[in-house]
Structure 1
């Protein structure tokens, strides 16, 4: 499988600058925030979201250097993403993320909540200083969508009647909205046409959905070492994703197990077995591939460039995580 880090070669220097800037922006005010920032931004994350912003910024400005506003947009995107992870980990009581201790387990719930709040506040402040009302609206919508996604997930726990459509809505709010709206914002800052901006939004939305759908497959097929959390964590917590929803169509016996919240001995093990003995995982793979293909098609509006090729390769990388 191609390393995502090697894929980002066209913006490698941009991403290093982004990481250094983020540590300074977040950590300048207080030692504990600097420690949290170093923990968050020095953890070797993929930087997928800011990389997409930077790649699209360069792809929409061929032959020109990207502006400080493009760079700040990438930083804001990573701030919003990281803030949402910090808060998610507190809500989910997760001690690890990708095998690394979470902020609240390394410091405390209080520090984690305040660090997440501070990241959202910093993102909003820097967003206002981009002097683009359109971009402010786009990224403010993302923050609303992240909250909406968490609420939807909370309200639908252990709901075996959940539809694939509602599942995709929740996946959009929690994952794809940030990629979609920051992608459009990159086009806005480049002065791209409405047609191009629409296509960039479609790319981000489809890539984000494919990424989340693949994550939901890995929750059933990945090892705890790879996931950084126990396999089947989503199902155990009542977060029903596409593999389980498709499996329910084939195996109605799943319904009572879910509705009694796996309270009886062997309920959870039986549920996992029913998902694996269905077409749920195969159908979910097809769903991820469909969205990855839509992402590729959306890039037709861009001229040929190394950055465009990288954006196309990213869709293959997302699917290759299942290999």
Structure 2
């Protein structure tokens, strides 16, 4: 699990707060505000609740031959645990008594929900890539810099980079970006700096995701992996025949031959393009960090980015 809360706190500490903030709000020992710590906790709770809810299984008899009591109980625990964390995050957020922040973080939860309704899914709600476009077109899909504006998905599906970016901004980048923006809002920083922090959060989340998605394709790897990962999507764009293997997962993703897909990906340009994509987002994250004072918090974020290389 990505430590979104840690990144939020590091950004908070690296930039500090303006003189307009009451000094009693600051935690002298840590170097950031009590409200910023609370926001970091909210971020982690929202992120964790989403991951727990994603673990729910479809227990229809059409898909599972024998449904055990343990499976039903596990689903109930996952549902209740995720709901508990999400409800607690709402309470913590309300206690900060900042209407603009509540609206901002609510839009992040909206994006997490929308990420579960993009494109095709198998019977267990695992995402499947959209059929690749017949002709490779240039990546022209753009996201608005307005964090409250809903994302239009129509033009992204079928384009490898656009679809990957869409899925991962909604599922990860939006939450981290808006949390980074929100923590500077609490510290009284300008709207311009808040927007820069929002873009930074998006880019570091995407760089992190691209790094993680390269791991299943290192030498000696085995087992299943995400079929909407960047290496697979980029390979699909150059080898449309790969989609025939992916189509086997419409009923159940376990019907897919992951070893065969891994072999095809390793032979194609997908991994190299994923590495390039990661570098692009890392570079855009560095642009924001270069503007920050040389502090331990800034250096810690730089170390996180360096560890991805």
Matched, 1:57 2:12: yes
Which residue number corresponds to residue 231 of structure 1?
A: 223
CA distance in 2: counterparts of 1:88 and 1:222, whole angstroms: 29
Determine the structure 2 residue equivalent to 1:291: 281
> Which of 74, 78, 87 is equivalent to 2:53?
87
Q: Is the 8 A contact 1:171 1:209 kept in 2?
A: yes
Q: Which residue of 1 aligns with 2:230?
A: 242
Aligned to 1:256: 244
Equivalence for 2:184: 187
* Aligned partners of 1:248 and 1:254 also within 8 Å: yes
> In angstroms, what is the RMSD of aligned CA positions?
2.8
Once the two structures are TM-superposed, the CA of residue 265 in structure 1 deviates from its matched residue by 8.9
- TM-score norm. by structure 1 comes to 0.71
Describe the shift of the 1:105–1:290 C-alpha distance in structure 2 as closer, same or farther (beyond 3 A). Answer: farther
Mark the runs of 5 or more structure 1 residues left unpaired by the alignment.
1-44, 94-103, 225-229
1:308–1:268 Cα change, 3 Å: closer
Aligned to 1:74: 40
Q: Alpha-carbon deviations, 1:189-217, whole Å to 9, x = none?
A: 11111121111111110000111112222
- In structure 2, the CA distance between the partners of 1:92 and 1:178, relative to structure 1 (3 Å rule), is farther
Cα distance in structure 1, aligned partners of 2:72 and 2:8: 30
Identify if the C-alpha distance between structure 1 residues 91 and 135 changes in structure 2 by more than 3 Å, giving closer, same or farther. farther
Query: 1:224-246 CA distances to partner (integer Å, 9 max, x unpaired)?
Result: 7xxxxx633323xxxx2221122
SS at match of 1:160: coil
Aligned residue among 205, 212, 217 for 1:215: 212
Structure 1 Cα separation of the partners of residues 11 and 215 of structure 2: 28
Shift in Å at residue 250 of structure 1? 2.9
